[in-house]
Chains A and B, each alone.
Chain A
């Protein structure tokens, strides 16, 4: 079956612009996660959705970052007024659920964001 898909695969933007990153989880997966991977920070958690609700936004680095999920499926991560330190690979993952046995996470190919 189809895996997690993300778009765009690459995004180059100018400092101060807004960007939207999209994630399509595996069909039937109720839990969705955003992470980012950068050289200095490794892989870090950003936000978790169960259905359309985001009970944990604790990893979002600033109020310029927001995310939503609609229809229990597609999610969009929005970064407003981008800064150079936002440059990273943004990874999306999904799992069948968040309880043990169902919580194996599967990752998409990522969106590489470069802020000039």
Chain B
């Protein structure tokens, strides 16, 4: 399967700060998704972004498919942004997940 590496593993932010999460993957993909896992364990879809750039409010993401990486930007972080962020990729149908980045936003 495709190898997925996420960095950093942990991130502690002060409320209002900006941050960048990175996802590297080992093969070409036709699907790349970013998820936020909430405290109840639900995976919330943030972006479907196999290539290009998208923005949704304070979040944005960029995938450079030719270089096999994706970045998730969080701006003006809020305490509700805390949780685990997963990158997942696929080149057929099954998603391969990274180990996640645990984000803690302090008030």
- A residues adjacent to B (C-beta < 8 A): 31, 33, 35, 37, 42-45, 48, 56, 59, 89, 91, 93, 98, 100, 103-107, 109-110, 112
Majority DSSP secondary structure for residues of A touching B: strand
A105 lies within 8 A of B33 (CB)? yes
B93 lies within 8 A of A48 (CB)? yes
CB neighbours (8 Å) of B93 from chain A are 31, 33, 48, 56, 98, 103
Contact of A110 among B33, B41, B86, B95 (CB under 8 A): B41
Bound complex: CA of A59 vs CA of B42, how far in Å? 21
Find the A residue at minimum CB distance from B92: A98
A59 lies within 8 A of B31 (CB)? no
Contact of A103 among B31, B41, B45, B99 (CB under 8 A): B31
Find the B residue at minimum CB distance from A99: B30
Given that A100-B31, A104-B31, A104-B33 are contacting pairs, would A45 and B45 also be in contact in the complex, using a CB cutoff of 8 Å?
A: no
A-B contact count (CB 8 A): 54
Bound complex: CA of A30 vs CA of B31, how far in Å? 17
B31 lies within 8 A of A106 (CB)? no
Given that A89-B41, A104-B48, A107-B43 are contacting pairs, would A42 and B97 also be in contact in the complex, using a CB cutoff of 8 Å?
A: yes
Residues facing A in B22-66 (CB within 8 A) are 30-31, 33, 35, 40-43, 45, 48, 50
B78 within 8 A of A: no
Find the A residue at minimum CB distance from B50: A100
The smallest beta-carbon distance between B80 and chain A, in angstroms, is 18
B33 lies within 8 A of A45 (CB)? no
CB neighbours (8 Å) of A33 from chain B are 93-95
B45 lies within 8 A of A100 (CB)? no
Can you show 27 pairs from A to B with CB atoms below 8 A apart?
Answer: A31-B93, A33-B93, A33-B94, A33-B95, A35-B95, A42-B97, A43-B86, A43-B88, A43-B95, A43-B97, A48-B94, A59-B94, A89-B41, A93-B95, A100-B31, A103-B31, A103-B93, A104-B31, A104-B33, A104-B45, A105-B31, A105-B88, A107-B43, A109-B40, A109-B42, A110-B41, A112-B41
Closest 9 CB pairs of A and B: A43-B97, A45-B94, A107-B43, A104-B48, A98-B93, A100-B30, A103-B31, A109-B42, A48-B93
